[in-house]
Chain A
Amino acid sequence: MLRYIGQRLLIMLPIILGISFIVFMILDLTPGDPARIILGDSATDESVRVLREEMGLNDHAIIRYFRYVKNAITGDFGKSYRSGLPVLSELKARMPTSFKLATGSMIMIIIIGIPVGIISAAKQYSLLDTLSLTSALLLTSMPNFWLGLMLMLFFSLKLDLLPATGAYTWQHFILPSITLGAFGLATMIRMTRSSMLEVIRQDYIRTARSKGVGEFKVITRHALKNALLPIITIVGMNFALMLGGGMIIESTFALPGIGSLAIQAIRTKDTPIVIGAIIFIAIAISVMNLIVDIIYTFVDPRLKTIITAENVVK
């Protein structure tokens, strides 16, 4: 098992290198001179030229990329053009907020999405099923910034129940978590439902019924575990995406997370921050994928055999 994890971590390296290369090159192609951005419009051409020389901006992009990678390995991802602070410390300062937001959404998706999906499948074509499918459709079709604004309008301004912006207490995370998780919740309901429906039709469910197992236990004990694989995938992918992907939501609710940092950086052409944020998201997704695969082996004994067998062969 450890060996498998080690292999997977090693495979992550080229993936992250590739992503950083692509992002680095694309950002390099966009117009705008970093030295000018750092010094401001009022700076003289001479001082801009000196700074360019200092930063090595006159070198070829490939050379600059390798320099970037070399520094990155030692933990130096460059400095923000705007604040002058190291990228890593900027990201670190924003991480807890993003993490709390993503966790909040994830909890909502799991607590609501999985049970609703299960009920929907167990009572296929019933009123409950129609209701949950309709709400899932509704949640998918609502743009999330609009949903965020509506929630703010209703819960903060009208009812004055929850704070609208900022990230001070856990209450501040309720509305953004709901907004961010809305789409994932809809996906979760539908995925749980279809996965459960597929499992319920399997022969071993009929076997369970023929043993006299009650319907509740058939669903929870016999069907759910088999239906769990695609559900875990969705949870993992959503979590990783939400860690860095809450750009619009973080901006809407004025939350200082990775997403809003990235948006701000893109707007101001703060290249080191943009690359740093994207690498962070890439790492988050890769790590989540690995965690998901490890969880798989606990859910499905067949996969565990495959992974252990693989290690025996190698």
Chain B
Amino acid sequence: MAERLLEIKDLNVVYETDESVVHAVNNLNLVINKGETLGLVGETGAGKTTAALSIMKLLPDKTGIIKRGEIGLENINITIATKYDKRLLRGNVISMIFQDPMTSLNPTLTVEYQIAEVLALHKKDMKKAELSKRVDEILEMVGLPPSRKHEYPHQFSGGMKQRVVIAIALACEPKLLLADEPTTALDVTIQAQILKLMKELKEKLDTAMLLITHDLGVVAEICDKVAIMYAGQIIEQGMIEDIFESKYHHPYTEGLFDAIPDLSKKTKRLNPVEGLMPDPTDLPTGCFFHVRCRKCMDICKTKEPEIKWTNADKTHLIKCHLFNDNK
């Protein structure tokens, strides 16, 4: 079996304000092995970004709190890491690519500075000339001409900016890359380029990746494993074949696939998953999905389903009463 890199156990994250408590992530379990790409799929508000921010320890001060659970990185629990430790991790062992490249780069600093900074922070023995040389290499790696390194972010296009963001994230060759919807803000042709680039680079550097997205097409293209998230929980998880080819699915996953329009069929209307994500300040009892579920049974309203493996290899799991024996 492959070596485990990241293991999240029973993670619970809440946002506490004076008025209410938002349960953003509820008993999340995830494993990412070395070099592997896991796609984390879900609607807006499913808690995908919150999960990633908890790994980075970048949850908003005071309001965002990890209530329970462990995040293990190479078997070290990093939820209890000190301020200094987490700074050593960030950018070096784990780095993150954010959704919008337009706002992710500092407008007043040159591209060179922004890339060199992360190197200077984590590779302390590098000298100035080496840093500059390394910046050139990295820029070339992400497909940007090194001659433009003295320019500022506003002089680059959106796709190029995302390349710079990727360059920053991969500069220290991290073991884990968290990509939070890296292509959502880009147009489709640039999306394909960026995805291809990310796939190449992660293979070259042997980096594991957690790809957050709501685009199943993107998932099919570059992920090894997929986890479907709903209301802060993983409701189905499996290898890419399990999700795209198996006949067993959580009703929510089926809904997601049905929602993708098929070019070969004549459809008059799009087929969405009816309803909205439950209010995270007031989650329903039983299965969180039962309100919107087309196959809802009585038991779903009262009892939380258990996680079941659907195959002998134990690669595909579903959290639904339909697959529980005691239905």
Report which A residues bind B (CB closer than 8 A): 202-204, 206-214, 221-222, 225-226, 299-302, 305
Contacts and interface: CB of A to CB of B under 8 A. Distances in A.
A20 to B, nearest CB: 39
Contacts of A226: 106-108
B85 to A, nearest CB: 10
Given A209-B90, A211-B118, A204 B105 contact: yes
Contact of B103 (A202, A213, A222, A299): A202
A48 B308 CA distance: 110
B27 to A, nearest CB: 26
Nearest to A228: B108
30 contacts: A202-B103, A203-B100, A203-B104, A204-B104, A204-B105, A206-B58, A206-B98, A207-B98, A207-B104, A207-B168, A210-B56, A210-B90, A210-B96, A211-B90, A211-B118, A212-B89, A212-B90, A212-B91, A212-B92, A213-B87, A213-B91, A213-B117, A225-B108, A226-B106, A299-B108, A300-B107, A301-B107, A301-B108, A302-B107, A302-B154
A114 to B, nearest CB: 16
Given A204-B107, A207-B105, A299-B108, A214 B87 contact: yes
B106 A208 contact: yes
Contacts of B90: 209-212
Given A204-B106, A210-B56, A211-B95, 12 more contacts: A203-B104, A204-B103, A207-B106, A210-B58, A210-B95, A211-B117, A212-B92, A212-B121, A225-B108, A300-B107, A300-B108, A302-B107
B122 interface: yes
Nearest to A208: B106
Nearest to A209: B58
A145 B91 CA distance: 54
Interface in B95-125: 95-96, 98, 100, 103-109, 117-118, 121-122
Contacts of A225: 108-109
A226 B107 CA distance: 8
Interface in B147-169: 152, 154-155, 165, 168
B203 to A, nearest CB: 23
B98 A203 contact: yes
B192 interface: no
Given A213-B117, A301-B152, A302-B154, A207 B108 contact: no
Contact of B121 (A202, A207, A211): A211
Contacts of A203: 98, 100, 103-104
A207 B165 CA distance: 9
Interface in B139-196: 152, 154-155, 165, 168
B260 interface: no
Chain B CB count within 10 A is highest, among A206, A207, A299, A301, for: A207
Interface string B36-59: 000000000000000000001010
A204 B153 CA distance: 11
Contacts of A299: 108
B88 interface: yes
A155 B26 CA distance: 63
B138 to A, nearest CB: 13
A301 B87 CA distance: 29
Contacts of A305: 154-155
Which 10 A-B pairs have CB atoms at the shortest separation, nearest pair first? A212-B90, A211-B91, A212-B91, A203-B103, A301-B152, A204-B106, A225-B108, A211-B118, A212-B87, A210-B96
Nearest to B86: A212
Contacts of B155: 305
A280 to B, nearest CB: 35
Contacts of A300: 107-108
A203 B121 CA distance: 20
Nearest to A227: B108
Contacts of B117: 211, 213
Contacts of B118: 211-212
Nearest to A203: B103
Nearest to A224: B108
Contacts of B105: 204, 207
A213 B154 contact: no
